[in-house]
Each structure stands twice: as structure tokens, then as C-alpha cells.
Structure 1
Amino acid sequence: MQPLKIIVIGPIRSGKTTISNFLADATEIPYDYHPTKGVRILEFEVQNIIINNKHITKDIELWDCSGDHKFENCWPAIRKDIHGVIFVYNEKSSDCLKEIQQLYDYFIASTFMKISHIKCNIESGGSKLKTDFASFISTILNKMHNYTNQEDKNVLNENILFAK
């Protein structure tokens, strides 16, 4: 079965890599800043996702995308076949709203209707972020299961998660 492709996007220095590493249980969570070059893909499993009253394990591809506009030419490839989007931004940055709006306009189709918005701090609320992420994955998989005959399986409602 194909993995779920979830992209992590947001402005430069918003914490995308830190959150991606945390969600993927990556061994290294650097606290010093190193900009992502284009995109990096983390592959991992999420266990105990409930689909139709059954517990399953699902393979995830988490695409940690650079916030640098010099990589905009990669956006079409990044957007292809996505199942969900995680927006990450720093609420203390006054410049981030314009950036988020541009990313939202490009990556989100009009059929994405509901956005889950969570506030997180990995150091003090990491377990809540993991729980919210598992719920997010479950929502995507349940919708995919319910819409298997739909022409475009990748355009789903409620497949956006904001983390700030």
C-alpha cells in the first residue's frame, strides 16, 4: 500500500524541521538553525490508527520543505499526490502571515475546507502534538477509505494541520 504523503511547509525559520524530526522520531533534533535545502523526506510508521474499528499501521512520507523561495520551482513536484498539509509558523514573526497566505494559496485546493489549528511547544507539549498528528492521519485514512470511488483521492477535506 502506498504511504501517505504529508508535506510540512511554512516560512523560513518557523520550526518545520524540528517538528518533522519530532513527529518522525528522528534521532537528531538540532536546536541550532540549519536551513533545509529544497526538501527532505522522512519515512516512518504511525501505529494504532483506527480505521473502521480496526487498528492499523500506516507508512508515512513526511516532506520537510524549505521555506526559501529560491526553491519555488520545486513546488509542483512537492504538491503532486499529497494527502495532507502541515503548516508551521512562528506566531512571534510579523512577516509570517504574508508567507503563510502565499503557501496556502498555492498548496491548498478550494476543496480543503476545515483546518485544524494547534499551538505546540515540543518541549512542554510534545505528547499532545503526537496525539494530534495521529488523529490527523486517522482522519485522512478514514476519508480515503470512505471516498475510494472518488476520482481524485488526494483532494480531501480536513487535511490541513497548522502548528505554531
Structure 2
Amino acid sequence: MADTSKVTIFVVGPSKVGKTAICNYIAELSDSINSSEYHPTQGVRILEFDRKIVSDGKTHKWKELNLEVELWDCSGDSEPDLFPAIKSNQCAVFAHRLVNSSSKSKVKMTHKTLIKAPLFYTSLDQDPEAIRDGFDLLLINVYAAMMETKEKEEKSIAG
């Protein structure tokens, strides 16, 4: 039997670092992360898609996980400081080679807060699928946290 849940993921970071390209790739709207033109995101762009994750049934209580995903691609222009509010089991960090120095300093500032988050070394040229694999691991962690919260709420209601 497959579980189905809805998950919302926010993608935040400085401008011009590839958030939209990664979102398009994860949502399978693009076969490549490389794009020749830059189009800044205005406000937020919401991508909706389904993701199916299969387990061996030993590691998790489920064998097949079907998720409705809302991926919020947030503009980097006026990024609020969300990092302290993000829990380590609900966060994954994808870092791309940054070109401008102001982006580098913003990433360094958040490093201590995000130190416990999973880190995925990827090469867009050699292994772009590693990004989708890392995203699937994030979804599994978010789903597990959701189920844990739900169980706690049910226990508190039951008394």
C-alpha cells in the first residue's frame, strides 16, 4: 500500500546562484540545469509535481511513497533570514560554484546554522541525477518528520 502526502519545500538563497535552474531540473521541467539566459524570479514561483519514492521496506515503514510536491522557488532579491527557523532534518543544502563575491559571503554567514544539514557533492556535467537523489532524501526526511508530528498529536488527543 502506498502512502500519499503533500509536501511544501522552499528554495531560498542569494540571487543568480541557480535556484530556478535546480527547481526546474528537480521538477523535470528541464533536462539540463545549464541555461544560456538569466531570468530573475519575481517574488515566488510555485512548481507542483508528483514524486514517487520506492523503499526496500526495511529502512522505512512504507515500500512506496507518493508525494504531491509544492516547490517554492523564492526570489533571491529580498531574501528574508529564514535559516535559523529551518530544522536540520527538514533541510538540504545544494551549493553551486558561486561567481560573485557577495553571494559567497552570504553562504559563509549561514554555514554555522546549516552545518547539520545533509551535504550533496554534485557535478552538473557528470552526475546531475545526484541532485534529484538528494532531493528525494530531503523528501524522505520531511515525510518522516511529518509522520512523527502526526503521531505525537494523535497521542496527545488520545490522552
TM superposition shift of 1:126: 1.4
Q: Which residue of 2 aligns with 1:96?
A: 103
The AA in structure 2 aligned to 1:130 is R
Counterpart of 2:49 in 1: which secondary structure?
A: strand
TM-score scaled by length of structure 1: 0.67
Q: Which has the higher strand share?
A: 1
Call closer, same or farther: CA 1:149–1:53 in 2, change over 3 Å. closer
Q: 1:130 aligns with which of 129, 132, 140?
A: 132
Counterpart of 2:150 in 1: which secondary structure?
A: coil
Counterpart of 1:122 in 2: which secondary structure?
A: coil
Ranges in structure 2 where 5+ consecutive residues have no aligned partner: 154-159
TM superposition shift of 1:86: 4.9
Call closer, same or farther: CA 1:100–1:113 in 2, change over 3 Å. closer
Distance 1:113 1:15 in 2: 21
Distance 1:53 1:139 in 2: 13
Q: How does 1:1-164 map to 2 (within 5 A)?
A: 3-27=6-30, 30-50=35-55, 51-69=60-78, 72=80, 84-93=90-99, 94-100=101-107, 114-150=116-152
TM superposition shift of 1:89: 4.0
Asked whether the 8 Å contact 1:11–1:89 carries over to 2, the reply is: no
Call closer, same or farther: CA 1:20–1:67 in 2, change over 3 Å. same
Call closer, same or farther: CA 1:88–1:118 in 2, change over 3 Å. closer
TM-score scaled by length of structure 2: 0.69
TM superposition shift of 1:92: 3.7
Ranges in structure 1 where 5+ consecutive residues have no aligned partner: 152-164
Asked whether the 8 Å contact 1:9–1:103 carries over to 2, the reply is: no
Q: Percent identity?
A: 25
Instruction: Kindly name which structure, 1 or 2, has the bigger radius of gyration based on alpha carbons.
Output: 2
Asked whether the 8 Å contact 1:7–1:85 carries over to 2, the reply is: no
The AA in structure 2 aligned to 1:45 is D
Asked whether the 8 Å contact 2:93–2:117 carries over to 1, the reply is: no
Distance 1:103 1:39 in 2: 21
Distance 1:113 1:149 in 2: 28
The AA in structure 2 aligned to 1:95 is S
TM superposition shift of 1:136: 1.4
